[in-house]
Amino acid sequence: MGLLDGKAAIVTGSARGIGRATAEMFVAEGAKVLINDLDADVAEQAAGEINGETAVFAGDLTKEGAADELVKAANDAFGAVDICVNNAGYTWDGVAHKMSDEQFQAMLDIHTIVPFRVARALAPSWREAAKAERNEGKEVFRKIVNVSSTSGMMGNAGQVNYSAAKMGVVGLTKTLAKEWGQFKINVNAVAFGFVETRLTQAKEQGEEMTTPTGEKVELGIPEQMRAMASAIIPMGRPATPEEASGPVLFLSSPLANYVHGQVLNVTGGMFGGMYT
Q: Give the C-alpha distances (Å, rounded to integers) separating 205 from 74, 157, 219, 238.
A: 36, 22, 9, 18
In this model, does residue 118 exceed pLDDT 50?
yes
Q: Which of 90, 162, 258, 275 does the annotation list as catalytic?
A: 162
Q: Is the pTM of this model over 0.75?
A: yes
Q: What is the pLDDT of residue 202?
A: 61
State residue 224's pLDDT score: 74
Neighbours of 178 (CB within 10 A): 12
* pLDDT tens-digit map of 220-239: 777 777 777 778 889 888 89
pLDDT at 276: 38
Give the pLDDT band (50/70/90) at residue 210: confident
Q: Express each pLDDT in 129-177 by its tens digit.
A: 999 999 999 999 999 999 999 998 988 888 999 999 999 999 999 999 9
Q: Are the CB atoms for 267 and 238 separated by under 8 Å?
A: no
pLDDT tens figures, 1-27:
899 999 999 999 999 999 999 999 999
Pick from 70-79, 90-99, 267-276 the range whose average pLDDT is largest: 70-79
The residue ranking higher by pLDDT, 219 or 92, is: 92
Residue 250 has pLDDT above 80, yes or no: yes
**pLDDT-based confidence at residue 204 (cuts at 50, 70, 90):** low
CA distance 140 to 146: 20
Domains of the chain and any CATH numbers: 8-197+240-263 (3.40.50.720)
Residue 274: pLDDT over 50: no
pLDDT of amino acid 206: 63
Whether the per-residue pLDDT at 273 is higher than 50: the answer is no
**Is 275 a residue of the active site?**
no
Q: What is the pLDDT of residue 275?
A: 41
